């Protein structure tokens, strides 16, 4: 190396060293300044301490970063495989969110050190959704994915997703699918969902029995269902008819099951005439000796005096004790002062009123019935004409539709449900009061004729007690007199008979039934609007006066709920009323509901239904 080169090298080295020294010196100087500044302590005032700082979004941001790293394949230490799907993941994240993976990665299992894990029984699409949830805490459960997602969440023990699936299925419950959801829950050990679906099925039994899931059940399943004390039915006849419908759905292979099924039907709790005319005459029962034994047991029970019946105990004499769903009161249409479309709903639990979907057209003076969860507004007056049309409300969808019209125009008619059919009784067709009646066979969606009453009755009230239909009071139009007479219809022989008259004339009276007594509420006799109330006992064929209402009312809606009688709106002879009165038979007292309707109305249709999950 030449002297010049050496001199250059030395100069370069010297400059480099000099630069490092300056830089190093500057760094240490800066460090000394910072160190010295750390010795400065700010003055802290006593009592002004703040709680521990916590960044609300820290965990969310951390998981967002981890999810992005997963998508890019950064720091992933395991690959999950299901079918053709491969998902790179972080073991620590999986273990933190799944007990299945926690056990796998923290115990002495071969998978704890594996970098590739094949999941044999997991649906690939379900696995992808689950892993997305693990990293994002978000999931969208749908009809399309719930049946694969729930089993996957069960296997991998992702409790939050399992719960989300159960909540989704619970919200989807309907009489057409409750048995399927119940069995699906049982298969995957979702006990809460199973219990909820079972209770729903018991509470909606009369609707469930019309759908394929019930009709395709095995006999053991039918027996287990109908043996439940919690079955919600208005009469034991509904259980018998459901059983016979199931048998006739596949008669050749099911006729031998009648004996097994009738063992769980509580024949002694049926109406005696129904037993004699329907059950005893059924060929499948007639030819079975064991079934005859059940009939004899039922007839023996009916021969006992009232005080002896509780002592005659068999599995079939035990009354059912259903669990009730929360109820709401519907007030449909009415006159305020003209016919209106408005529908109001009162929630008994929340003690508040709110609006539901309006009817398609104005309607007052109609009758209301509930069958298979649907609410039927029958006949009435639209402000111009008496109508024969029917609007049908679906509480689950909050929508109205139509169904076949009646044969006759009927306003101020009486409407009731008996044996699953809707009966339309009397009324006014625009020219005269009617003594005719007809019924709607829901199964075939057809109106059918029946025998006439002995008296024309418009503004008539109707009620059902012991499988008999009562037409109470009204106005006959011919004598121009309000009526005190009452007729009773027996559907088994298609015949009307007169029973004891009320103590006074009542047209536009509300009628309701509580604990086997038929109540006639208010009404009017010419210009006199009544506040009096009387109750009819079918066993003694007598009417008895009970406590008066607070207010005189005619053309009010009357309905029973929870062993109490609710009287809704009406008019007092001069104005429409928005108030509601409640009668408690145990105390023989009336109370005014604290909350009144938003719109005072008379001639409204009223009913009580289970609160829908809208």
Instruction: Give the residue with greater pLDDT, 13 vs 497.
Output: 497
Q: Which residues pair with 91 in a beta bridge?
A: none
d(CA 246, CA 258): 10
Does one domain contain both 303 and 415?
no
Does one domain contain both 284 and 372?
no
Report the CATH number that the domain containing residue 540 is assigned in CATH. 2.120.10.80
Element (H, E) at 591: strand 589-592
In a domain, 25, yes or no: no
Domain residues for the domain of 238 are 217-311
pLDDT at 17: 39
Chosen domain end from 311, 342, 374: 311
Report the CATH number that the domain containing residue 148 is assigned in CATH. 3.30.710.10
Does one domain contain both 537 and 468?
yes
Q: How far is residue 582 from each of residues 98, 187, 510, 594, measured CA to CA in Å?
A: 54, 46, 13, 11
Residue 12 clears pLDDT 70, i.e. is over it: no
How many other CB atoms sit within 10 Å of the CB of residue 189?
Answer: 10
Does one domain contain both 469 and 561?
yes
Q: Please state whether the peptide bond connecting residue 608 to the residue before it is cis, i.e. omega within 30 degrees of 0.
A: no
Does one domain contain both 412 and 535?
yes
Does one domain contain both 154 and 237?
no
In a domain, 9, yes or no: no
For residue 280, give both structure tokens. Answer: 């005893």
Does one domain contain both 401 and 479?
yes
Taking a C-beta distance cutoff of 8 angstroms, is the pair 349, 365 a contact? no
Q: Which residues pair with 390 in a beta bridge?
A: 378, 403
Does one domain contain both 150 and 297?
no
Residue 33 clears pLDDT 50, i.e. is over it: no
Does one domain contain both 514 and 550?
yes
Angle, vertex CA 416, rays to CA 415 and CA 420, nearest 5:
135
Give per-residue pLDDT as tens, 328-371.
999 999 999 999 999 999 999 899 999 999 999 999 999 999 99
Entry pTM:
0.60
How many other CB atoms sit within 10 Å of the CB of residue 37?
Answer: 8
Chosen domain end from 311, 341, 357: 311
Give per-residue pLDDT as tens, 284-325.
999 999 999 999 999 999 898 877 888 888 899 998 888 766
Q: How many domains does the chain have?
A: 3
Give per-residue pLDDT as tens, 429-447.
999 999 999 999 998 999 9
Give residue 185's Cα distance to chain centre. Answer: 19
Does one domain contain both 149 and 237?
no
Taking a C-beta distance cutoff of 8 angstroms, is the pair 127, 82 a contact? yes
Chosen domain end from 278, 311, 344: 311
Q: Is the dihedral of CA 129, 57, 63, 190 positive or negative?
A: negative
For residue 417, give both structure tokens. Answer: 């449900």
Report the CATH number that the domain containing residue 254 is assigned in CATH. 1.25.40.420
In a domain, 438, yes or no: yes
Q: Which residues of 309-338 are buried (b: 16+ CB within 10 A; e: fewer)?
A: eeeeeeebbeeeeeeeeeebbbbbbbbbee
Give per-residue pLDDT as tens, 479-488.
888 999 999 9
């Amino acid at each position: 190396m030449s002297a010049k080169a050496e001199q250059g090298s030395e100069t370069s080295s010297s400059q480099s060293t000099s630069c490092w020294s300056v830089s190093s010196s500057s760094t240490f100087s800066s460090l000394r300044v910072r160190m010295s500044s750390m010795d400065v302590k700010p003055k802290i005032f006593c009592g002004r301490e703040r709680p521990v700082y916590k960044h609300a979004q820290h965990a969310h941001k951390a998981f967002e970063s981890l999810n992005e790293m997963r998508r890019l394949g950064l720091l992933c230490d395991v690959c999950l495989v299901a079918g053709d799907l491969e998902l790179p993941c972080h073991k620590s994240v999986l273990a933190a969110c799944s007990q299945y993976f926690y056990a796998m990665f923290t115990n002495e299992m071969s998978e704890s050190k594996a970098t590739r894990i094949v999941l044999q029984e997991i649906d690939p699409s379900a696995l992808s959704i689950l892993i997305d949830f693990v990293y994002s805490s978000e999931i969208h459960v749908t009809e399309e994915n719930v049946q694969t997602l729930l089993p996957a969440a069960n296997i991998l023990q992702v409790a939050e997703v399992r719960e989300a699936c159960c909540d989704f299925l619970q919200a989807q419950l309907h009489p057409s699918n409750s048995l399927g959801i119940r069995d699906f829950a049982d298969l995957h050990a979702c006990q809460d969902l199973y219990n909820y679906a079972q209770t729903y099925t018991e509470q909606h039994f009369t609707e469930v029995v019309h759908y394929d899931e019930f009709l395709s059940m095995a006999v053991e399943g039918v027996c287990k269902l109908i043996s439940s004390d919690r079955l919600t039915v208005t009469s034991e006849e509904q259980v018998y008819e459901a059983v016979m419908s199931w048998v006739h759905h596949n008669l050749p292979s099911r006729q031998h099951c009648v004996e097994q099924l009738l063992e769980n039907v509580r024949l002694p709790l049926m109406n005696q005439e129904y037993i004699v005319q329907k059950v005893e005459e059924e060929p499948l029962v007639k030819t079975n000796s064991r079934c005859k034994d059940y009939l004899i047991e039922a007839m023996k029970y009916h021969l006992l005096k009232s005080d002896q019946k509780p002592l005659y105990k068999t599995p079939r004499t035990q009354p059912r004790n259903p669990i009730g769903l929360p109820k709401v009161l519907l007030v449909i249409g009415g006159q305020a002062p003209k016919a209106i479309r408005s529908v109001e709903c009162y929630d008994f639990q929340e003690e508040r009123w709110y609006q539901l979907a309006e009817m398609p057209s104005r309607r007052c003076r109609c009758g209301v019935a509930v069958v298979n969860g649907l609410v039927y507004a029958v006949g009435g007056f639209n402000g111009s004409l008496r109508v024969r049309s029917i609007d049908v409300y679906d509480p689950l969808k909050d929508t109205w539709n139509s169904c076949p019209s009646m044969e006759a125009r009927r306003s101020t008619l009486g409407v009731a449900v008996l044996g699953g059919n809707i009966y339309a009784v009397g009324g006014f067709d625009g020219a005269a009061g009617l003594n005719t009646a007809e019924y709607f066979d829901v199964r075939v969606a057809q109106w059918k004729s029946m025998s006439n009453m002995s008296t024309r009755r418009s503004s008539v009230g109707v009620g059902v007690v012991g499988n008999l239909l009562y037409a109470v009071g009204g106005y006959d139009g011919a004598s121009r007199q309000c009526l005190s007479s009452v007729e009773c219809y027996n559907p088994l022989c298609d015949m009307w008979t007169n029973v004891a008259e009320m103590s006074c004339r009542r047209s536009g009276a509300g009628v309701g039934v509580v604990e086997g007594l038929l109540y006639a509420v208010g009404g009017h006799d010419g210009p006199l609007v009544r506040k009096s109330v009387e109750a009819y006992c079918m066993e003694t064929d007598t009417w008895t006066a009970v406590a008066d209402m607070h207010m005189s009312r005619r053309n009010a809606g009357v309905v029973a709920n929870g062993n109490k009688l609710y009287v809704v709106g009406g008019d007092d002879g001069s104005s429409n009323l928005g108030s509601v009165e409640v009668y408690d038979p145990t105390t023989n007292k009336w109370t005014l509901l604290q909350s009144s309707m938003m719109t005072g109305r008379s001639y409204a249709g009223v009913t009580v239904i289970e609160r829908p999950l809208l």
